[in-house]
Structure 1
Amino acid sequence: MNVIMRKKDALDCYHGNQSALAGVLGITRQAVNQWGKFIPDEAAAKLALLNPQIPYQILGHKKAPVAENN
């Protein structure tokens, strides 16, 4: 299953605080900083469960190409 979530949308829910977002996921702020425009699928799926107010889209079982990565 592919969960598409924009990094900006997730950060907006955590008031732009990368450390807070990283803490929810159990990863480092540096890992969050390395993400491009979209959150990696596994982290996006976890965030969708933990904070469903963050906008996301589920694309199904096929891996969908992402046009932009910044």
Structure 2
Amino acid sequence: MTRESNKEKVRFLDIARSSLAEARTQIYIGIDIGYIKQPVGTVWLDETVALSKMLTGLIARLKSTANR
């Protein structure tokens, strides 16, 4: 990661997590209007949830090391 401080890294990862939430919203919309097939959309939604959990864990780890 090219960010210098843990604070910068956490901010970057938080923005990434927010972007992932926006993507999840677009997937829901795509499914609702029939642009994305339900089985494919479900897989993508599951993947966004897993990625969000990974980002949350990484953010927590960076925050805990910053507090040491």
TM tier, smaller: under 0.3
TM-score, with normalisation over the residues of structure 1?
0.26
More strand as a share of residues? 1
TM-score, with normalisation over the residues of structure 2?
0.26
Bigger Rg over Cα: 2
More helix as a share of residues? 2
